[in-house]
Amino acid sequence: MGSVIYDKSASLDGFIAGANMRLEAGLGDDGERLHDWAFQDEAGKEMLEGEIARLGAVICGRRTYDMSIQYWDADGPTGSARVPLFVLSHGVPDGVPEGGVYTFVDDLDKALAMARETAGARNVSVMGADVGRQLINAGAIDEISIHVVPVLFGSGTPMFGEGVDQHVTLEFVAVTESPHATHLRYRIARDG
């Protein structure tokens, strides 16, 4: 079985989207800057391609889906790799792209179980502040991968939504640096 990885780009002050999120700016004001490392840096592009190659499934929340579908279309966030995406949602929205990679699930545990089954030995990536927080609180996240971008937003969407419910100890795995981001990876320390 692969790992469940909460993988996010964040400003140095911990925001995964800038202020004023809206359909015209799904990552808020200046939020696209959070992904410069993946599109403007060759090492970042290679890192992203390597992570996608190890993915078997992705989980996100409905807000992430709603703000991103205009960019993803039928292929989802992994583009031509077409990794299945499980969207935590109380319903199926109108206009879901035909032939898309999307499955809408109304229960967090069910979404996680479906993603793990689909992924098999590959990893499951988790997107979105609230879904990431919920899965950390449920003890379901194995690793946290943060791409810290050299910008301060001052406000926006915090990385862990309303915060985690408990103290979580992390074990350092790796760090990689570039002018566009510092890439940090941690494993969740388990008792025993």
Per-residue pLDDT of the chain (192 residues; tens, 9 = 90+): 899 999 999 999 999 999 998 988 889 999 999 999 998 989 889 999 999 999 999 999 999 999 999 999 999 999 999 999 999 999 999 999 999 999 999 999 999 999 999 999 999 999 999 999 999 999 999 999 999 999 999 999 999 877 888 899 999 999 999 899 999 999 999 874
Instruction: Print the domain residue range for 164.
Output: 4-188
Query: What predicted TM-score, i.e. pTM, was given to this entire model?
Result: 0.94
Task: Copy the structure tokens of residue 13.
Answer: 């002050």
What is the radius of gyration, based on Cα positions, of the chain?
16
Could you tell me the CATH number of the domain that includes residue 75? 3.40.430.10
pLDDT value of residue 192: 45
Give the residue among 42, 45, 47, 15 at the shortest CA–CA distance from 31: 15
CA dist., res. 92 & res. 183, Å (int): 34
C-alpha to C-alpha distances, 70 to 23, 65, 162, nearest whole angstrom: 9, 9, 27
C-alpha to C-alpha distances, 73 to 33, 69, 100, nearest whole angstrom: 21, 6, 7
Task: Copy the structure tokens of residue 78.
Answer: 């992994």
Is the dihedral angle over the CA atoms 71, 77, 80, 83 positive or is it negative? negative
Is the dihedral angle over the CA atoms 31, 156, 97, 84 positive or is it negative? positive
Contact 141, 131 (CB under 8 A): no
Structural domain count, the chain: 1
